[in-house]
Amino acid sequence: MTDAQETAADSSLRTTGGAPPDEGVTGVSVEGTPTPLLEPRDGIPPVVADPDALAQVIAAFAAGTGPVAVDAERASGYRYGQRAYLVQLRREGAGSALIDPVACPDLSGLGEALAGTEWVLHAATQDLPCLREIGMVPSAVFDTELAGRLAGFPRVGLGAMVESVLGYVLEKGHSAVDWSTRPLPEPWLRYAALDVELLVDLRDALEKELDRQGKLEWAREEFDAIASAPPAPPRKDPWRRTSGMHKVRRRRQLAVVRELWTARDRIAQRRDVSPGKVLSDGAIVEAALSLPPNVHALTALPGFGHRMGRRQLEQWQAAVERAKALPDAELPQPGQAVAGPPPPRSWADRDPAAAARLSAARAAVSALAEQLGMPQENLITPDTVRRVCWEPPGDLSADSVAGALAAHGARPWQITQVTPVLARALTTPAP
């Protein structure tokens, strides 16, 4: 058993800090089975959808104490982009709140009221971008998913963590619904409120477990990095991420993918729907491979069936024709320019010594991650390992390796743990 598995099995560590129905009880029944959590302890709060109600929530949460649990629901797969369609919060002394960011699009006042307060989120990097769009930016974060990874829990979804640590079962049936729906059905609101019901309790239990394992300071460094990270820059050539692109080899075909992707994105943004609902990635790739000469030929391709109207078919064929008419100099190049080392599969031919270093480094990092009870990618990112192995520092001293890791963004705790094993691996001779 790992430390985390022992924690999950030890019901004495399951503490909910006033969990329903009676303060101080755990979620474990007499028989030792988890207890379904069916209702928020204070009931489902009304959805905040006007300035007066928002002002009351801001005042209540400003007067609350301790960390604040925060969650956001998006409409991925239904709407264009990743905006928030519901924001959930809970804080001691303030209770829970459900806020409609469509009706209240500026939550900067709430963000300011929570300045200096630790925000507890699960998988924080997923929610922080959409929260930033509505004016909510934390100064301090505790990520319960990342805490679970560092502590070595085998399953780190919110439901799995609440069950294994706190002994409650969360109902997760509404995670992939269309949260842009108005009005939101009561079962969805109940689900949303329950998502923040025990988040602070989970945070407290995980903090104790990380401290017990000697990893609490490591976690704090990770949380600080999340809170201080700038917004991600726009992705270059996003059309290259079309599913099935590995089948597209010729430059003219790549141009068709680019034109169809761009046309689809423009339509999806105008209609505020998920791009996949306008035209599937599979249809884009089929058109690129076939280079249809006319609308009739396009209609015969998968994804452009009889249910698609003539006008739609003509706009897609027009995109294909634009790509076919481009001069060779304007066609996209195959592959995507990537900063950093080449794909590892080519290392053995291009630089056998680097390939040997990478093999040794991967094995060493894997062994260390297992020893520390955490996923390899949380110990050190694979990209960092590849970059250091491809272009190692000149003298391969511990200080030089540590400097290289720091230059690639490794946190101090990662540098301390990884430097010794990586320094040894970098001296591995080529076969």
Topology agreement, domain 238-325 and domain 344-427: yes
pLDDT 10s digits, 135-150: 999 999 999 999 999 9
Span 43-69, average pLDDT: 98
pLDDT 10s digits, 7-53: 555 544 443 333 333 333 345 444 568 899 999 999 999 999 999 99
What distance in Å separates the CA atoms of residue 120 and residue 201, rounded to the nearest whole number? 10
Please give the CATH number for the structural domain made up of 344-427.
Answer: 1.10.150.80
Buried b (16+ CB within 10 A) or exposed e, 246-272: eebeeeebbbbbbbbbebbbebbeeee
* pLDDT at residue 166 greater than cutoff 60: yes
Query: What type of residue sits at position 39?
Result: E
Query: What type of residue sits at position 119?
Result: W
Q: What is the pLDDT of residue 337?
A: 60
* pLDDT at residue 204 greater than cutoff 80: yes
Which class does domain 35-228 fall in? alpha beta
Span 105-113, average pLDDT: 98
Domain boundaries, the chain: 35-228, 238-325, 344-427
* pLDDT at residue 298 greater than cutoff 90: yes
* pLDDT at residue 128 greater than cutoff 90: yes
Q: What is the pLDDT of residue 139?
A: 95
Strands of 47-48's sheet in order across = 47-48, 95-99, 84-92, 65-74, 118-121, 140-143
Which class does domain 238-325 fall in? mainly alpha
The strand ranges marked E within 288-424 are: none
What distance in Å separates the CA atoms of residue 401 and residue 398, rounded to the nearest whole number? 5
Taking every pair of Cα atoms in the chain, the longest distance, rounded to a whole number of angstroms, is 74
- Residue 344's contacts (CB-CB under 8 Å, 6 or more residues apart) are 355, 358, 386
pLDDT 10s digits, 225-270: 999 999 989 889 999 999 999 999 999 999 999 999 999 999 999 9
What integer best gives the mean pLDDT of the chain? 91
Report how far apart, in Å, the C-alpha atoms of 225 and of each of 132, 157, 188 are: 16, 21, 32
* pLDDT at residue 80 greater than cutoff 80: yes
Query: What type of residue sits at position 143?
Result: D
Query: What type of residue sits at position 114?
Result: L
Q: What is the pLDDT of residue 14?
A: 44
Report how far apart, in Å, the C-alpha atoms of 419 and of each of 56, 373, 403, 409 are: 51, 18, 9, 14
The residues pairing with 48 across neighbouring beta strands, listed in sequence order, are 99
